[in-house]
Structure 1
Amino acid sequence: MLSTMVKFSIHFEEEHETLATTAFSTTFFPGISLADSTTHKTYEEMAFLKHFTGKTPEFIRTELGEPDSIAKKENASGTIEFWIYRDLVQQAHSDKIYRYTQFGIVNGHVETLGHTNRDPK
């Protein structure tokens, strides 16, 4: 199957890049789809949680790019960063997209992950 996908991708390399990317992502990462090849992926909620839970901040940034916003707070346990991404995760059993996805990073480790439609500011 992989050799078929590689041939398919090479054959349609430039002219059909979006089609090849979509075929690859749905074949190897079920639950992950492309909303628009010029923007970013959207993820089905459970697939997103499985893919990103327990990962490092470096992994998150590599996979998703720069956050739409970062808020930093200091407290007794150290530095807390909140990385916010917009319109990234599809609500379970729905075609609606959460407006915000937030990663809570404490002292360089991802500690929390959540989605909301409420403005996190």
Structure 2
Amino acid sequence: MKKSLNNIVISVFLVLWTLNIASAESAPSIPIAEFEFVKIFSGKDADFVKDKLGEPAEIMKRENESGTVEFWIYKNIVKIGNTDKTYKYTQIGIINNYIETLGNTNRSPE
């Protein structure tokens, strides 16, 4: 009986742990807090961004010494500080398929 109870406890723990991992991998709640946004997206690849945020509203391309830089523009996805207001634009700079820069602004990116 005791062995059976231990197996049940371990099984329940594993199920709850698996559910916790699955929920951590889900898309963030939008709008997302600034610090959380940086924590989640820093250093990730382009596929991760598309998986979590979907297609960007706009993609801008520029050339520099490293090659082509893509700036993916999303709208109203990041909160300003501890308020309910959001930045109008979030710009994610991608070089060689990885995020190199993250920025938020209320000015139109041009």
Q: Give the TM-score, by structure 1 length.
A: 0.66
Look up the equivalent residue of 1:63 and give its one-letter code: K
User: How many residues get paired?
Assistant: 91
User: Could you tell me which of 64, 67, 76 is aligned with 1:75?
Assistant: 64
Q: Relative to structure 1, is the Cα distance of residues 28 and 75 closer, same or farther in structure 2, using a 3 angstrom cutoff?
A: closer
Alpha-carbon deviation of 1:75?
Answer: 2.6
Aligned partner of 1:12 in structure 2 is: none
1:42 matched to 2:34: no
Look up the equivalent residue of 1:117 and give its one-letter code: N
Alpha-carbon deviation of 1:95?
Answer: 1.7
User: Could you tell me which of 56, 74, 79 is aligned with 2:45?
Assistant: 56
Q: Distance between the aligned counterparts of 1:60 and 1:104, measured in 2?
A: 11
Structure 2 residue runs without a partner (length 5+):
1-14
Q: Give the TM-score, by structure 2 length.
A: 0.72
Q: Distance between the aligned counterparts of 2:44 and 2:35, measured in 1?
A: 15
Aligned partner of residue 73 in structure 1, secondary structure = strand
Aligned partner of 1:14 in structure 2 is: none
Alpha-carbon deviation of 1:119?
Answer: 0.4
Query: Post-superposition, which runs of at least 4 consecutive aligned residues in structure 1 deviate over 3 A?
Result: none
Q: Distance between the aligned counterparts of 1:52 and 1:109, measured in 2?
A: 10
Structure 1 residue runs without a partner (length 5+):
7-26, 34-40
Alpha-carbon deviation of 1:28?
Answer: 6.1
Please say which structure displays the higher CA radius of gyration.
Answer: 2
Aligned partner of residue 97 in structure 1, secondary structure = coil
Higher normalized helix content (fraction of residues): 2
Look up the equivalent residue of 1:87 and give its one-letter code: N
**Aligned residues: percent identity?**
47
